[in-house]
Structure 1
Amino acid sequence: MPSSIARPAALAVAGLIIILPLSAVSCSAAQKALDCGTTAARVTGDIADVTSAYSNASNDSATAGKALQKLKNDLDQLGRNSKNTDVVKAVNDLKTQADKVQQAVDKKEVPDLKPLGDAAGNLTSVCTG
């Protein structure tokens, strides 16, 4: 399961390699590429941390809780700093999924991480589309 969640975030980084040279075309494209680059770098690490907390035998909810809080803090900052409405919407969708994972962690349940990975994939689509 970890690879299915980390893959969309990794694809976002790979997509940025393609987007960044094209970003010189317009300020809007440059801003979107910058927003997505920052987002991809932070979110990739944060989601990997959440996934890692649930891919070991102990299902470490304390570590997952810390990783989720870091993810949400990073997403809050990125949402405030982004000028692109599509990026902001994708970030907000990802925050919603992080909140759902947090609710499961708070209830001492093993969360379904697929929607979190799907939301990261949506962010990738926004960034590369």
Structure 2
Amino acid sequence: MTKVRANGIDIEVETSGDPRDPTIPLIMGISFQLVHWPNGFVEQLAGRGFHVVRFDNRDVGLSTWFDDHPRPNPALLWLKSALSIRPKAAYRLCDMAEDAAGVLDSLGIDSATSWGCPWAG
């Protein structure tokens, strides 16, 4: 594993397979680390000709944590959303999407097909 600098933060990254092969970034849901992708699954993808990139999202595992910001209250977030009030937060989902793009950029990857795990379960 290694850290890359992307979108202004440090992100823990692990790659498998040949970087010249088509890339599949595996994006785990909120609160789960890259290690939650089963190694056997990653090895099968790499063995079938894919370059696999998996990483810890911000505020997870070995990537940058935002400890100086309070943890969001899910019920309050839902209520504010229902009332069209933009909540204050350390970051938004679009920031996390930019993190993923930044990881690929830092690895010199121009295109990829993403696989993800649901964020809500």
TM-score bin, normalised by smaller chain: 0.3 to 0.5
**Normalised TM-score (structure 1):** 0.34
Higher relative helix content: 1
**When you count strand as a share of all residues, which structure comes out higher?**
2
| Greater C-alpha radius of gyration | 2
